[in-house]
Amino acid sequence: MDPKLGRMAASLLAVLLLLEGGMFSSHSLPPALLEKVFQYIDLHQDEFVQTLKEWVAIESDSVQPVPRFRQELFRMMAVAADTLQRLGARVTSVDMGSQQLPDGQSLPIPPVILAELGNDPTKGTVCFYGHLDVQPADQGDGWLTDPYVLTEVDGKLYGRGTTDNKGPVLAWINAVSAFRALEQDLPVNIKFIIEGMEEAGSVALEELVEKEKNRFFSGVDYIVISDNLWISQRKPAITYGTRGNSYFTVEVKCRDQDFHSGTFGGILHEPMADLVALLGSLVDSSGHILVPGIYDEVAPLTEEEINTYKAIHLDLEEYRNSSRVEKFLFDTKEEILMHLWRYPSLSIHGIEGAFDEPGAKTVIPGQVIGKFSIRLVPHMNVSVVEKQVTRHLEDVFSKRNSSNKMVVSMTLGLHPWIANINDTQYLAAKRAIRTVFGTEPDMIRDGSTIPIAKMFQEIVHKSVVLIPLGAVDDGEHSQNEKINRWNYIEGTKLFAAFFLEMAQLH
């Protein structure tokens, strides 16, 4: 089908569903307004793509701490602030100070944008969080096109930041602009918090949110994040939970210098042998974590939860093929999803200090550091997990009777997040998805960690929802990152319909 005809059909479907109160809808949004908004979005989609192209061209890399990229980040935030001001928003660019780097260098942190549109006390207030910084990208790393030149191929918009997170941020802004252009009142009050350091750990953001808790966030009813992906290529999703993460290092040391294996091999407790034994004691071949007590606090599985997994559309064969793996640990959709989302997992990431270059080097490392992490799920506690892991490794190490020294450290501890899917904005998001896509959304969790969701929930004490726009194959953080034009434009309609649904339900 011609893409334009497809978009017109989607708009027509939405209007018919609303007019007839069909199988997807028992309520009634204003159909004339919705049709106007959708039509406006379709007619102006090339402009929306052009704006995304301009934003992608700004190399707003927050990961590489060099002045040129910091200048680009400041430019990106200024462009976004100007865009919001032209929509009539009241914009504050908050100075975030500077970042001290391990080498003693100091770099300025890009400002955080706080913006407000509307302050009608009779309306609900929705706050959108997004980020405009990106992961590093270089064409020489395997990109088929210049990562900072938006390139459309077969309806796919390739470029760094297209799906993570410039595209979704612009989709929200585009939805607002449609109401503004049609001289329609916004159905809800809208606030924005947009940062430029998410990929580098959201430096200083938590302190700002805490400071603004009773000011900028005081009137906020709901918080929306769009910074993850669907679980399929064509079926939309709503995300209501993410796993946490505890990252560990385990260091085994004999001395500062390495040894020659011909001179010392056979008479030492070798640090690498100790470390391999320690890492090998953490997880078995079926993925089961061997740390005693680690599963004690995992939330019990309910029948309702199992039915949620059954309802999700996931083609296991397609998923396996797109992942380019021969076999997963589990054979059913439900088992795969549960072990990605609701059970903890342990991954071993690497060994520092070991010989890893090409060739043969007969060295015994004098000191090695193993790195691994555990993805946490409700209701696991970071500090409890830290104690369990430390105790387990100490027990394993003591049984080896090694003369080496071992030190276990948890370098990162992020709690899991889960929301109440019966909250108003979850219902509004479901209804908006039915209107735009003509289907029920997949209700999903994310196996990775999105600390910002937990942070907002704990500090601001408001309902948080993740409404992803990107397809499962968008390749965020990877080479050839993209967002489909269809996802970008229909996602803009989704946010517009969401505003109207929130107005009805608030």
- Single out the residue in 369, 384, 414 at which a domain terminates: 414
Q: How far is CA 312 from CA 103, 232, 432, in A?
A: 48, 10, 18
* Neighbouring C-alpha atoms within 13 Å toward the C-beta of 98: 8
As a whole number of angstroms, the distance between CA 121 and CA 157 comes to 39
Closest C-alpha among 286, 273, 250 to residue 373: 250
Active site (annotated) includes residue 198: yes
The CATH number of residue 462's host domain is 3.40.630.10
Is 233 in the same domain as 276?
A: no
Number of H helices, E strands in the chain: 15, 20
Closest C-alpha among 86, 83, 64 to residue 75: 83
Is 402 in the same domain as 452?
A: no
- Single out the residue in 385, 414, 443 at which a domain terminates: 414
pLDDT at 15: 44
pLDDT at 313: 87
164 is in an annotated binding site: yes
Active site (annotated) includes residue 133: yes
Question: What angle do the packed helices 424-437 and 3-20 form, to 10 degrees?
Answer: 120
Domain assignment of residue 90, given as a range: 32-242+417-504
DSSP-assigned states of every residue in 432-479? HHHHHHSSPPEEEEESS--HHHHHHHHHT--EEEE---B-TTS-TTST
Selecting among 133, 251, 446, 474, the annotated active-site residue is 133
pLDDT tens digits, 59-84: 999 999 999 999 999 999 999 999 99
Is 149 in the same domain as 185?
A: yes
Q: How far is CA 232 from CA 166, 312, 441, in A?
A: 21, 10, 11
pLDDT at 27: 56
pLDDT at 323: 82
Selecting among 59, 61, 198, 481, the annotated active-site residue is 198
Q: Which helix (H) or strand (E) holds 405?
A: strand 405-414
Question: Could you identify the residue written with the tokens 């948080």?
Answer: 464
8-37 residues labelled b (16+ CB within 10 A) or e (exposed): eebbebbbebbeeeeebbeeebeeeebbbb
Is 257 in the same domain as 293?
A: yes
Is 73 in the same domain as 133?
A: yes
As a whole number of angstroms, the distance between CA 344 and CA 342 comes to 7
pLDDT tens digits, 126-161: 999 999 999 999 999 999 999 999 999 999 999 999
pLDDT at 26: 41
The gap from C-alpha 265 to its chain's centroid, in whole angstroms, comes to 47
Is 120 in the same domain as 224?
A: yes
pLDDT at 305: 92
Judge whether 348 lies within some domain.
Answer: yes
- Per-residue pLDDT of the chain in tens (506 residues, 90 and over written 9): 444 444 444 444 444 444 433 333 445 688 899 999 999 999 999 999 999 999 999 999 999 999 999 999 999 999 999 999 999 999 999 999 999 888 888 999 999 999 999 999 999 999 999 999 999 999 999 999 999 999 999 999 999 999 999 999 999 999 999 999 999 999 999 999 999 999 998 999 999 999 999 999 999 999 999 999 999 899 999 999 999 999 999 999 999 999 999 999 999 999 999 999 999 999 999 999 999 999 999 999 999 999 999 999 888 988 888 788 999 999 999 999 999 999 999 999 999 999 999 999 999 999 999 999 999 999 999 999 999 999 999 999 999 999 999 999 999 999 999 999 999 999 999 999 999 999 999 999 999 988 999 999 999 999 999 999 999 999 999 999 999 999 999 999 999 999 999 999 98
